[in-house]
C-alpha cells in the first residue's frame, strides 16, 4: 500500500559509471517499512529483473559485489540478505555448457550481515553476458527494535570489466547447503552432536508449514530441511557434500563465501578422506545482541585442490546463548577456476 500510494519509493534505480576500464553498476532498492520484529526470511522484501547492457552482446567479468543498508539506526542490523541471480539455462546454454544447467544454483552471490563484500582474488572473475537476464533481490530483518517504525533501503555496487586484454581467469560456482533430516513428530526433534555425527534422527524444521523452499525428500521419502531450529546451548551439525559437489576431476577453488544465522560460531568444509580442512569460516557474533559481526572468507590466487574420489562434509558449530530456540541455516558458495571455459575462450 505504501508503495502503491507513493508514500514510499517503490522503484529500483539502476545506474552505471565507467572509470579506467572498470564499470560499476549501482542498484538502489525501493524503501522498505519496518513496523515489527522480523526474523530470518520473514521481513519485507523487494526484487528487480535487469540486464546490464542490452545494447551489447559480450562477456562482462564480475570482480566485486558490495552491499549496504540505510536507515536511522545501525543499518547492517536490518539486512536479512542481498542476492544476485542469473538464469542457469540461458547462461550456460550461451556459453555452450548445457550439461551444467542443472548442476548450479541460479543464485550467483549472496551477501548477509557479517559478509557484505565479495571480492574475488586478483586475476579471477565471474563472467556474465552483458545482455543476459539477471535478477536482484533484498530482504529486511529486524531482531531488536520492537516498537520502532522506520524505513530501510539497500544499495548494491557491482564491479566488472570487459577483460579486453584477457588478464582475468573465469570462475564458476557450486552452492552447498547444509540439509538435515527432520520429522513432524515433536518428540523426535533435537539430537545431540554425537547423534548427528553418526546420522541419527531429526531436527525441527523452522519453515512455516506452507513454505516448501527449505524442504526436500530423497528417493526413500525421507524429509530434509535447510532451515531448522536450534535449542539453547552448543551443538554441531554435519552434512555430506560429496554428491552435491559432484567433482568429476581435480578442481581448484579460489574463493569461498559463507552464509549462516546468528549463534553459528563456525562453518567448515572438510576433506574427510585426508582429515584436512579445505576452509573454515570463523563467525563472530555481535556482542550484546543477536546478530553477526563478521564471517571470514577464503580468497586465494594459488587456490586449493579438491578431488573427485574424496569425501567432503560441511560441519557447523553453533552456540545458542539465548534461552529460546532460534532458526538456523548454513551454506557455502564455492568458486572454482573454470579451466574448460578458459580454454574455449582462448581458442576463439
Domain ranges for the chain: 13-167, 174-343
> Which pLDDT score, from 0 to 100, does residue 56 have?
94
Give residue 241's pLDDT: 94
Q: Which residues of the chain have pLDDT under 70?
A: 74, 183-202, 208-221, 348
- For residue 184, the model assigns a pLDDT of 61
- pLDDT number for residue 192: 44
State the Cα–Cα distance between residues 273 and 287, nearest whole angstrom.
37
Q: Select from 266, 232, 87, 79 the least CA-distant residue to 155.
A: 79
Q: Which residue carries 550484546 as its cell?
A: 288
- 3-state secondary structure at position 106: coil
Q: Which of the following CATH numbers is that of domain 174-343: 2.60.120, 2.30.230, 1.10.10, 3.40.50?
A: 2.60.120
13-167: which CATH topology? Jelly Rolls (2.60.120)
- Report the C-alpha gap between 135 and 83 in whole angstroms: 8
Could you give the dihedral angle defined by the CA atoms of residues 280, 228, 185 and 232, in that order, rounded to the nearest 10 degrees?
Answer: 80
Q: Confirm if 188 and 201 have CB atoms less than 8 A apart.
A: yes
Q: 311 with 272: CB under 8 angstroms?
A: yes
**Best CA proximity match to 29, nearest among 46, 53, 54, 43:** 46
Full-model pTM = 0.90
Please state whether beta strands 79-86 and 134-140 pair in parallel, antiparallel, or not at all (unpaired): antiparallel
Amino acid at each position: 500500500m505504501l508503495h502503491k500510494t507513493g508514500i514510499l519509493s517503490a522503484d529500483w534505480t539502476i545506474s552505471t559509471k565507467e572509470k579506467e576500464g572498470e564499470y560499476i553498476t549501482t542498484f538502489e532498492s525501493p524503501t522498505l517499512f519496518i513496523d515489527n520484529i522480523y526474523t530470518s526470511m520473514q521481513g519485507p522484501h523487494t526484487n528487480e529483473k535487469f540486464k546490464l547492457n542490452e545494447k551489447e552482446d559480450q562477456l562482462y567479468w564480475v570482480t566485486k559485489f558490495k552491499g549496504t543498508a540505510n536507515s536511522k539506526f545501525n543499518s547492517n542490523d536490518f539486512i536479512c540478505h542481498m542476492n544476485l541471480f542469473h538464469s542457469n539455462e540461458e547462461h550456460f546454454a550461451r556459453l555452450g555448457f548445457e550439461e551444467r544447467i542443472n548442476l548450479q544454483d541460479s543464485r550467483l552471490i549472496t551477501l548477509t550481515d557479517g559478509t557484505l563484500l565479495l571480492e574475488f582474488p586478483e586475476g579471477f572473475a565471474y563472467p556474465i553476458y552483458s545482455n543476459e537476464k539477471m535478477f536482484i533481490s533484498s530482504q529486511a530483518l529486524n531482531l531488536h527494535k520492537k516498537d520502532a517504525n522506520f524505513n530501510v533501503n539497500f544499495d548494491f555496487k557491482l564491479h566488472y570489466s570487459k577483460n579486453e586484454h584477457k588478464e582475468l581467469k573465469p570462475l564458476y560456482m557450486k552452492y552447498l547447503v547444509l540439509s538435515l533430516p527432520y520429522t513432524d513428530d515433536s518428540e523426535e526433534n533435537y539430537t545431540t552432536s554425537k547423534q548427528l555425527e553418526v546420522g541419527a534422527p531429526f531436527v525441527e524444521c523452522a519453515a512455516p508449514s506452507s513454505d516448501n523452499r527449505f524442504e526436500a525428500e530423497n528417493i526413500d521419502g525421507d524429509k530434509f530441511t535447510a532451515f531448522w531450529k536450534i535449542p539453547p546451548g552448543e551443538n554441531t551439525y554435519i552434512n555430506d557434500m560429496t554428491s552435491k559437489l559432484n567433482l568429476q576431476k581435480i578442481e581448484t577453488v579460489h574463493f569461498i563465501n559463507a552464509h549462516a544465522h546468528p549463534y553459528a560460531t563456525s562453518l567448515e568444509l572438510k576433506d574427510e578422506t585426508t582429515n584436512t580442512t579445505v576452509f573454515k569460516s570463523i563467525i563472530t557474533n555481535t556482542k550484546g545482541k543477536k546478530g553477526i559481526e563478521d564471517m571470514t572468507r577464503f580468497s586465494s590466487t594459488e587456490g586449493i585442490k579438491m578431488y573427485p574420489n574424496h569425501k567432503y562434509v560441511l560441519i557447523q558449530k553453533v552456540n545458542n546463548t539465548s534461552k529460546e530456540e532460534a532458526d538456523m541455516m548454513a551454506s557455502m558458495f564455492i568458486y572454482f577456476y573454470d579451466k574448460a571455459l578458459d580454454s574455449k575462450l582462448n581458442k576463439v
